Every structure is written in C-alpha cells, then in structure tokens.
Structure 1
Amino acid sequence: MEQLATDATEGMDPLIFGRVLDGKGGGRAIGRHEVDDWKPAAPGEVLWLHLRRHAPEVLPWLENDLGIPEPTAELLVSSSTRPRALREGDSLVATLRGINFNPDAQPEDMISLQLWSDGTRLITLRKLPMQTPRDVLAMLDRGKGPTDAGSAITEIVEQLVVRMNETIVDMNTKIDELEEMDVEEDYEQILPKITTIRRNCLALKRHMSPQHEALERIARDAPDWFEEHDRREIAESIDRLRRYLDDIDISKESALVLQDELRARSLASNEHATYMLTIVAGIFLPLGFLTGLMGINVGGMPGVNDGQAFWVVVAICLSIMALQLFLFWRWKWL
C-alpha cells in the first residue's frame, strides 16, 4: 500500500488538493487562488476541497472565504472525532472514522474525516494522512469517479467501510494461526497476541458502532440533493458495516475462547504440579518422622549395638512407602 506523506514533508498548506467534478466521472484540478470565487461553469459541476484540519488558516478560510457558518466551521476543525452526522438546512455535516494505515499505526488508532456539503461544494478535512480520499481522487483522475456531491460522499463512505474489512480479516487470520500453535510450548507468546486482538476488537467496535448510527442518519435525513440512488448506496454500506460489526463480535468471542483455553490449561498444569508435590510430601512425611525418631541421640535405643538397625529401618521405610503407593493407587490418587 502506498505510504502516505506526513505533514512534515508536505507542508501546512490547508489545501491538500482540490477538484472540480465535471458530472461525468472526471474532474479538473483547482488551485487555492481559484477556490474562493468559484461558481459552477457548467451544469452538474461540483467543487471538492480536501483540507488539513489542523492547519492554522483553515478555520478563518472556512468562515470568511467559503461562507460556512461559524458553529459549523468550528465543528469541522474540532478535535471531537466521535462519528456523527447532522443536517443543517440544505447542508450535510458528518464526522466519520477510518482505519489508520500509516506506518507504525495500530488498527485501533482510527483516523477521523470531517465532511461538509451543500450539494455544489464538498469539503473534507483530516488531520493525519488518509488513503481513502486519495483513492477517490485517483478514480476522478481516471475519469471513473463520482459524478456529484452525493455520489462522492457515498464513494468515500464505501471506501472507509471496505478498508475496515482488511483489518478484520487480518485479525481472523491471526486467530487461526494462534489456534494452530502448540499451546503448552508457546503459551508466553500466544497470550499477549490474544490480548492485543481483543483490545483491537474493542477499539474497532467502540468507533464503528457510532459510525453505523451516523450512516443511518445520513441515509434518513440527508438533504434533497442526496438522491435516492445515493441513499441506496449508503444503505449497502450500512449493511456491510453491520456485517463487519458481527464479524468483530465473532473475532472477540474466538479470542476469548482461546484465551480461556490457555488459562484453563495453565491452571490444570499448575494444579497437577501442586498435586504431585502433595503426593511426594505425603509419602515422605511418615518416613521423615520415622527416621527422625530413630535418629534421636538417646542411649539404650533398641538395635543400636547389633549392627542391623540401619537395614531394619531401611526395610521398614520401604515397606511403608510401598503401602502408601498401594493405598494411593487404590484410592485413585495416582
């Protein structure tokens, strides 16, 4: 997968890229100086701007030059990234989240994508580099991209949801690999991996559940320029996301079952070791008492002077040990 550039290398220009959708699946690039006074030159044209949310110039640009109301502009640059969607008059505002595929990122480190659209303009904002908008951009540059604001939003949503499947499939593959490992020999390696998988499942579920609600809100309350076929596409993404949520639950349960099996085997192993130590202690306890008694340094102990006392004691100890082993076997302790 393409490694995305960081803001340290691409600068802090608020505009990452801009395109004017031609309504036929293609688009032309547009620069910063053309954006503020842009008007559709032909029917069906839509302006799409992809911005850096954390750039200092973004907020005043949204309010003063692009004419977005102050509360909405502040929401778009806010660090509150819980997925949600709402309608403001004829505009749609949403915060969505996608899997972080940047180097050294963990699946639970999801990236937020804010978007705003009034049907003729679409503005998306992010903080960290994100692959999904660039995928849609590549489709436009090939002439096979979205044709209007509604289809652009549905394409972005679909790409975000589809990419989640890659992480879920990867977790399921790891679970399958762990189940094939030797539990007793690889216990110390398996348990931390299972813990990581469960943590990833919980993080994905925490972010994807509200995203499911946000998409349902878009499908239900989007303005009229969000056409019926766009709502159907969103409904497909909602169904796919629901299946992924079910898959996450299955992955979490599979990891939990494997973790319980590991703990049960470890507990059984410890109990067996403790049991064997108890048996050994039970065998040698009377023997120790007997040898201690015979070793008392008191004159007149029977058999001390005839030279046979040691062997008599050894024979008695062996007899007691044999009797104990027989009784333990009879009582099914061994």
Structure 2
Amino acid sequence: MEISQETGLIEGFTIGADGTVQSVDGSAHVLNALSMPEGGYIWLHFDMDAAKRWLSSAGLVDQFVSAALFAPETRPRLITEHGGVLINLRGVNLNPEKNPEDMLSIRAFLQPGRLITVRRQRSVAIEVLRQTLRAGTAPPTAAHLMLGIINGLTDRIEPVVDRLSDRIDELEIEAVEGGALAIAEEVTEIRHDTLVFRRYMIPQREAVAKFAALGSDWLDQDSLDIAKEQADRMLRVTEELDITRERSGILNDQVTGQRSDRMNRNMMVISIASAIFLPLSFLTGLFGMNVAGLPGTQWNPAFVMVCVGCVVIAAILGGVLKLLDWY
C-alpha cells in the first residue's frame, strides 16, 4: 500500500467489537471523520516524515504527544500522558542493505479504542501484523495489538542476540587454541554491536515492564499475563547482552595479552641481539680506524684472529645472558 501524500498514513484499520476488520482510507477528510467503533478500536500507522505536519495540525494528538512521536532521536521509554500511553520502542533493522545494529524506532500512542504508530523505517514486526489484519484476523483490543508489536520486535531481537552469544562461544574456543590475535577484529565488532544493543534494550526492558504494570485500567488479565511474559523475555535479552559484553571483554583482554606477549618477545630478541653485537660493533669499529699504529696491520693472520675473537666474545656474552635467564 502506498503512503498517503496528504496525511502520511501508511495503512489504517478499524476493528469492530465482533472482530471484523476494515481498511481505512488515508485521505484527510476520512481520517478527520473517523470515530472509534463501539467495543472495537482503530489502528493508524503513519510514516514519520510524511505525517508530521498533518498529524500535528489535525488534532488527533496534542502538541506534547506530537513532539514525542516526531522527535528526531528517541530512546525506549513509556509514559502515561493526556489520557493515553506514549511508548517508544526499538527493533533490529532487517531491511535490505542495513545492519541489525542500525536499530529502527517505533513510536506509539495508545488510547482506549485507538492506537497510533509512527515509523521512519520499515519494520518487519509491523508488516507481519498488517498482513494478519488484512487477512481478517485482529487482536481483541488496542492493548493486545500493542503487545503484538512488542512481541514481534522481541521475536526478532532474540535471534540476533543469541547469534552474538554463539559466536562468542566459537571465538573462545579459537582463543584457547592459540588464535586470539586472529580474532581481534571480530571480537571488537561483537563488543561494539553488543554495546549498541544494550544501550537500547535496557531502557526497552524498563518500558515493557512499565507496560506490564499499567494495571486493569488498561489491560485485562489476559493482556497482563502476556505483558509480564514480554517483560521476562526482555529481561532475558538484556541479561544475555550483559553476559556477552563481559565475555567479549575477557576475550579482548586475551587478545591484548597475547599481543603484549608477542611484542615483549620481539623486544627481548632485539635486546639480546643488541647486548651481543654492541660490544662487537665497538671492537670492529676500533680495529677499522684508518689511523697509523693499528696492531696487526702487517701481520697476515690478524684478520682471522679478530674474527675468532669476535666469535669467542659473542659466545661468552650469549652464555652470560643465558645465565641471567634472558632467554
């Protein structure tokens, strides 16, 4: 479905008390005249850039809610304001040519009988719900629909977090087998991705927990049970991220340690070579001076004797360094 150029509506539905689903036209006069069905609810899903001007001026939401829905940057949160629940969520980005850590945002305003959602990028979780409603199957209430969005986002976050954890398992084995330096770049990438996810998932866990604590004014018992389950899932996600962050930090320390050990070994080799060849360089430099009076200049075996002397001195220095446990 094309985005309405007039209102920015991507798609809308009215759900009757008997569960019947009807699509909503995106024109302004239809949306302005739209009333909440008795015993049912409305879902309006808007594009952020296209809907900003119209939704702010149409009176569907007040200025506070409008500012929250269209804020340039948001973090997950939930607040109850102006007779509704304002909830911002984040999800992994599964769009083409995007990385999962480029997280997309879903902003929602939930009222009794109405749910307004706003997005900037396409969300697979939202697309699945739209297809379900097009097929004529809808959650019984707007709160259930909001829980469906939360569930869809969590369904797609969990596999990504699990893959990070599984990859850390593999990298730990590689590190034990002596390949810590080879995995340095990937460990850094995993640690970065984990920190990005954790930055948003911790406040999202708190937002979902607040949603589960809204009480009977907003949620029936079935919704409360589902909301608590979603809160538990988000808790597991954040705990897994914390564990992955710690494990990647340990791996990073191993990489740093192996790199330091290699550098120390190289420096030791250089130090040993310097300790041996510095006296020899002085000796050869001394005998190589182009001045009168140098001993052995008229004696043919002198060169051989100097070479033998250098070898003997090198052997003595090597033995001394060995006794000093330099190598």
Superposed CA deviations along residues 43-99 of structure 1, whole A, max 9, x for unmatched, are 53221111112215x444465363x33322332233242222122354222111211
Counterparts in 2 of 1:159-170, with a 5 A limit? 159-170=152-163
Report the equivalent of 1:28. 22
CA distance in 1 between partners of 2:262 and 2:296 (Å): 46
Superposed CA deviations along residues 219-246 of structure 1, whole A, max 9, x for unmatched, are 2236714222212211111111111111
Q: Which amino acid aligns with 1:21?
A: I
Shift, 1:179, TM fit:
4.1
Q: Which amino acid aligns with 2:12?
A: G
CA distance in 1 between partners of 2:304 and 2:116 (Å): 97
Match of 2:46 among 35, 43, 51: 51
CA distance in 2 between partners of 1:78 and 1:285 (Å): 68
Report the equivalent of 1:117. 110
Counterparts in 2 of 1:74-113, with a 5 A limit? 74-88=67-81, 90-113=83-106
Contact 1:91 1:223 in 2 (8 A): no
Cα RMSD (Å): 2.8
Contact 1:96 1:114 in 2 (8 A): yes
CA distance in 2 between partners of 1:152 and 1:191 (Å): 43
Shift, 1:325, TM fit:
2.0
Contact 2:9 2:46 in 1 (8 A): yes
Contact 1:92 1:222 in 2 (8 A): no
Counterparts in 2 of 1:1-334, with a 5 A limit? 12=5, 14-22=8-16, 27-33=21-27, 34-39=30-35, 44-56=39-51, 58-61=52-55, 64=58, 66=60, 68-88=61-81, 90-179=83-172, 187=181, 190-221=183-214, 224-334=217-327
CA distance in 2 between partners of 1:191 and 1:29 (Å): 52
Shift, 1:282, TM fit:
1.0
CA distance in 1 between partners of 2:39 and 2:147 (Å): 17
Contact 1:161 1:241 in 2 (8 A): yes
Q: Which amino acid aligns with 1:54?
A: D
TM-score w.r.t. the length of structure 2 is 0.87
Structure 1 residues without counterparts, runs of 5 or longer? none
* Greater relative contact order structure (CA < 8 Å, 6+ sep): 1
CA distance in 1 between partners of 2:326 and 2:277 (Å): 16
CA distance in 1 between partners of 2:282 and 2:289 (Å): 11
Shift, 1:154, TM fit:
0.9
DSSP 3-state at the match of 2:49: coil
CA distance in 1 between partners of 2:36 and 2:279 (Å): 100
CA distance in 2 between partners of 1:101 and 1:141 (Å): 22
Q: Which amino acid aligns with 1:261?
A: Q
Contact 1:94 1:115 in 2 (8 A): yes
TM-score w.r.t. the length of structure 1 is 0.85
Q: Identity over aligned residues, as a percent? A: 28
CA distance in 2 between partners of 1:132 and 1:284 (Å): 70
Superposed CA deviations along residues 150-175 of structure 1, whole A, max 9, x for unmatched, are 11111111111221112212322443
Contact 2:205 2:238 in 1 (8 A): no
Contact 1:18 1:30 in 2 (8 A): yes
Aligned length: 323
CA distance in 2 between partners of 1:297 and 1:123 (Å): 94
Contact 1:150 1:226 in 2 (8 A): yes
Greater alpha carbon shift after TM alignment, 303-312 vs 160-169: 303-312
Q: Which amino acid aligns with 2:41?
A: V
Superposed CA deviations along residues 118-163 of structure 1, whole A, max 9, x for unmatched, are 2211111111111111111223344554111111111111111221
CA distance in 1 between partners of 2:220 and 2:305 (Å): 102
